[in-house]
Amino acid sequence: MLAWVAGETASWYPGIGGSGAGLRLRKTHERPRCRLYEIEIRGRDKVEMMVVKTRGLDASRRRRDKYAATRPMLTPPLTNDDAAAASTEYMGLQAMHVSLGKRPGRGLASVQPLGLSTDLAAVAMQHVSAPSLREFALQRSRGMAPTVRDLPALLPWTNAGAWLKRYHAAVPADALPVLRGAQSEVVAMFEGFAGFLGPRTGHRALLDKFADHAGQAAEMFLGDDLPTAAAHGDFVAQNMFVLGGGSVAAIDPFPQWQAPVLEDLGRILVGARLFEPDSHRPDYHAARPQPRPRETALLSGYFGSGRIPVGPMRVYLALCTLDRWADTVSKEPPGLLRRQVRSSRVAAAGKYYLRELRHQLPLLLPTSRGWSDTWV
Ligand SMILES: Nc1ncnc2c1ncn2[C@@H]1O[C@H](COP(=O)(O)OP(=O)(O)OP(=O)(O)O)[C@@H](O)[C@H]1O
Ligand SMILES: [Mg+2]
């Protein structure tokens, strides 16, 4: 890998990367599906940092998906080919970088891809030294500069929504296979999740009722031709950097499917609810429905202020919540101890998801008392 980087630095960093530039591997991060290398390039009077991400399964870290073959899932794996996966990620980074280069957007940034090696299944990119949107939201990053720490709390969320909007417009989708472009497929998916989760969680009645209401809501609110775009696939707050001024740049794109645009939004909402500390309090949902300022900011960033399609978005929030719960139930880490810890986490998560479903249920369909178009 370092030989590849050494051979390319002159073109990636023309100012400093010529002969005589020193390379130093600063850190390696092992992840379940990839390895990340932080590399320093030291020229005579300038130092740059870059990242190389190589694809490959680390079986010892990977959680086994007990029901991979049978459970419903929103994004089934299309490729197990590491080189193809690296190319897909590179293409997503590149499309966004080029789009923002041509037409910069306020509050939008990109992580510059430097190169792709299919031999190594590797993507080289600029290193970003900034907290993730999740760290920003939780004010957890120790090294967070005041310029970031003291930003208006909702600004990066609005920018994150606008970032996704641009991504959906920038990444070519026509050649990608379409995933669930029709309303009837969404309805079937709800039935599939209830059928899978019901017997495994012991809450069959609630899940059947939820799937029934969500299916009716899908029929009521989703048109028959859902707007689709190249999916980001992992548009979550951990995969976004908050830069000075509140600009946002997302990484980890995986545009392998053309999918309804509301799915990427649904996924980030589900994740953001999970790290909202209050949402794990048993009485959180029992209180009057709370306005969700971060979520409203994100959705306004995507759709424009006052134009959130609340009905369709609730359908996708429901869909992505069930997908996440099914994923949690199915994944099992290697090792007995980790499995035991995991099973108590799965039980705790189950309680959270039940409360969340009970909260979402009455919001899915209009009642005799009317319809709430406030995002709660
Ligand atoms: N260009 C970068 N600059 C700085 N940090 C990075 C960069 N790319 C990744 N990271 C850090 O490494 C973490 C993991 O990277 P990434 O999200 O690409 O991997 P992953 O989620 O394990 O990948 P995948 O889901 O594609 O298997 C990120 O959350 C971020 O903290
Ligand atoms: Mg990631």
Q: Looking at domain 25-364, which of 3.30.1700.10, 3.90.1200.10, 3.40.50.300, 2.60.120.10 is its CATH number?
A: 3.90.1200.10
How many Å separate Cα 211 from the centre of its chain?
A: 24
Cα of 234 from ligand 2 centre, angstroms: 7
Name the closest-CA residue to atom 30, ligand 1.
239
Q: What does the pLDDT average to over 301-321?
A: 96
**Ligand 1 pocket, mutate which of 12, 28, 33, 34 (most atoms under 8 A from CB):** 34
Distances in Å between the alpha carbon of 289 and those of 242, 292, 323? Answer: 29, 9, 23
CA–CA distance, 290 with 284 (Å, rounded to integer): 9
**Ligand 1 pocket, mutate which of 252, 254, 327 (most atoms under 8 A from CB):** 252
pLDDT band at 144 (very low <50, low <70, confident <90, very high): confident
Q: Which residues are near ligand 1 (CB < 6 Å)?
A: 29, 31, 33-34, 36, 51, 53, 111, 125, 127-128, 234, 238-239, 251-252
Q: What pLDDT score does 80 carry?
A: 76
Highest-scoring range by mean pLDDT, 144-153, 183-192, 280-289, 344-353: 183-192
Percent of the chain's residues with pLDDT above 90? 71
Name the closest-CA residue to atom 16, ligand 1.
252
Phi-psi region at 20: left, alpha or beta (left = phi > 0; alpha = psi -120 to 50): left
Q: What does the pLDDT average to over 326-350?
A: 82
**Nearest ligand 1 atom to alpha carbon 111:** 1
Between 158 and 63, the more confident residue is 158
262 Cβ partners below 8 Å, 6+ apart? Answer: 226, 309, 312, 313, 315, 316
Q: What pLDDT score does 83 carry?
A: 95
Rg (CA), the chain: 22
Q: What pLDDT score does 229 carry?
A: 97
Evaluate if residue 60 carries a pLDDT over 90. Answer: no
Angle between helices 310-330 and 336-364 in degrees, nearest 10: 160
* Number of the ligand closest to the Cα of 50: 1
Name the closest-CA residue to atom 1, ligand 1.
127
Cα of 147 from ligand 1 centre, angstroms: 23
pLDDT band at 189 (very low <50, low <70, confident <90, very high): very high
Q: What does the pLDDT average to over 109-118?
A: 98
Evaluate if residue 16 carries a pLDDT over 90. Answer: no
**Ligand 1 pocket, mutate which of 35, 49, 53 (most atoms under 8 A from CB):** 53
Give the H or E element holding residue 27.
strand 22-30
pTM for the structure as a whole: 0.95
Q: Are 328 and 346 in contact (CB under 8 A)?
A: yes
Q: What does the pLDDT average to over 194-222?
A: 97
**Ligand 1 pocket, mutate which of 251, 275, 331 (most atoms under 8 A from CB):** 251
Cα of 250 from ligand 2 centre, angstroms: 9
Q: What pLDDT score does 58 carry?
A: 65
Q: What does the pLDDT average to over 42-71?
A: 85
User: What does the block give as tokens for 108?
Assistant: 């939008």
Evaluate if residue 18 carries a pLDDT over 70. Answer: no
Q: What pLDDT score does 44 carry?
A: 82
Between 319 and 279, the more confident residue is 319
Evaluate if residue 59 carries a pLDDT over 80. Answer: no
| Dihedral angle over CA of 42, 43, 44, 48, nearest 10 | -70
Q: What does the pLDDT average to over 243-250?
A: 96
Q: What is the mean pLDDT of the chain?
A: 91
* Number of the ligand closest to the Cα of 113: 1
Evaluate if residue 273 carries a pLDDT over 80. Answer: yes
Cα of 213 from ligand 2 centre, angstroms: 33
Q: What pLDDT score does 327 carry?
A: 94
Q: CA angle 306-163-108, nearest 5°?
A: 115
pLDDT band at 275 (very low <50, low <70, confident <90, very high): confident
Comparing C-alpha atoms, which of 165, 172, 173, 171 is closest to residue 105? 165
